[in-house]
């Protein structure tokens, strides 16, 4: 089953996350498809830039599919971090520009993935943030990349509160580069991707390699910490309890929408 859609537009590859029924949340099989596509595109000389976006108009991605994560124990959590290391490494190693077309919410790991792109385009209705603490999940890789971009003070506040920022705030603090009307998110992203695709490819590759090099040591340290911390976190059973509470509250809202 395909969990993503791919389309070439001139020299730009458009990768669309395609699970709109669950806000494009990803699980292991979906992430594997994404990683394979990114790694193949890195080697394809016809691809000069990449756009990643989400199907539908509600979410770029809700991040990790909690239905999968609910049953994790310490061993599975450690293996899971290894999967994320490969995903993040594929994005960080991509030698061509990546534009994130944020058509809706980007939460948790999807927020992190969006930050691993080079340029982010969003509309005023977009929400972005790191709400893991609300599900009983410790945040490690998220604070690593947020600190690189925002500093420790703002990273601490966003991590511990788990609050979602609106696009205006994201734009003001520099996480969103272009804030446009909802109908213009993809066209603006394509315009930027085509412009970047026209840049000299060797200089582009070297610039991107240098950005990776600058942050490589701290990235690997964050992965090692995530392996240790998530093993302990999931072994405690707290994430499962918080996810069960979330599922119960969501079911109650669906059965009684007037109470929302």
Q: How high is the pLDDT of residue 258?
A: 61
The answer to whether position 114 is within a domain reads yes
Range of the domain at 102: 1-182+200-260
User: 185-189, long-range: CB within 8 Å, 24+ apart, which pairs?
Assistant: 185/53, 185/101, 185/102, 185/103, 185/121, 185/122, 185/123, 186/51, 186/53, 186/101, 186/103, 188/121, 189/51, 189/53, 189/99, 189/100, 189/101, 189/119, 189/121
Beta bridge partners of 9: 12
Q: Domain total for the chain?
A: 1
Query: Tokens standing for 45?
Result: 């000389």
- Domain with residue 115: its CATH number is 3.90.226.10
Residue 194 is assigned to a structural domain of this protein: no
- Per-residue pLDDT at 260: 41
Q: Let me know if residue 190 belongs to a domain.
A: no
**Per-residue pLDDT of the chain in tens (260 residues, 90 and over written 9):** 599 999 999 999 999 999 999 999 999 999 999 999 999 999 999 999 999 999 999 999 999 888 887 778 888 889 989 999 999 999 999 999 999 999 999 999 999 999 999 999 999 999 999 999 988 888 999 999 999 999 999 999 999 999 999 999 999 999 999 999 999 999 999 999 999 999 999 999 999 999 999 999 999 999 999 999 999 988 888 887 887 876 777 677 777 766 44
- Give the model's pLDDT for residue 238: 85
Judge whether 251 lies within some domain. Answer: yes
Residue 192 in any domain: the answer is no
Residue 193 lies in a domain: no
Q: Are 200 and 91 in contact (CB under 8 A)?
A: no
């Amino acid at each position: 089953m395909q969990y993503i859609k791919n389309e070439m537009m001139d020299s730009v590859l458009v990768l669309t996350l395609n699970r709109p029924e669950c806000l494009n949340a990803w699980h292991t099989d979906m992430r594997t498809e994404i990683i394979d596509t990114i790694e193949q595109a890195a080697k394809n000389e016809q691809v000069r830039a990449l756009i990643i976006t989400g199907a539908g108009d509600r979410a770029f991605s809700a991040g990790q599919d909690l239905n999968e994560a609910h049953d994790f124990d310490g061993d599975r959590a450690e293996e899971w971090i290894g999967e994320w290391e490969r995903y993040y490494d594929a994005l960080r190693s991509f030698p061509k520009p990546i534009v994130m077309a944020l058509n809706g919410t980007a939460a948790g790991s999807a927020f992190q993935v969006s930050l691993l792109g080079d340029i982010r385009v969003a509309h005023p209705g977009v929400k972005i943030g790191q709400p893991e603490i609300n599900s009983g999940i410790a945040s490690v890789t998220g604070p690593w990349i947020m600190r690189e971009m925002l500093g420790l003070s703002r990273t601490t506040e966003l991590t511990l509160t788990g609050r979602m920022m609106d696009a205006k705030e994201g734009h003001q603090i520099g996480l969103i580069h272009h804030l446009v009307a909802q109908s213009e998110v993809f066209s603006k992203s394509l315009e930027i991707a085509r412009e970047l695709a026209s840049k000299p490819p060797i200089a582009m590759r070297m610039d991107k390699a240098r950005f990776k090099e600058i942050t490589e040591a701290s990235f690997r340290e964050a992965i090692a910490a995530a392996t240790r911390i998530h093993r302990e976190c999931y072994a405690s059973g707290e994430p499962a309890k918080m996810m069960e509470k979330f599922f119960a509250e969501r079911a109650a809202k669906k059965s009684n929408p007037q109470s929302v």
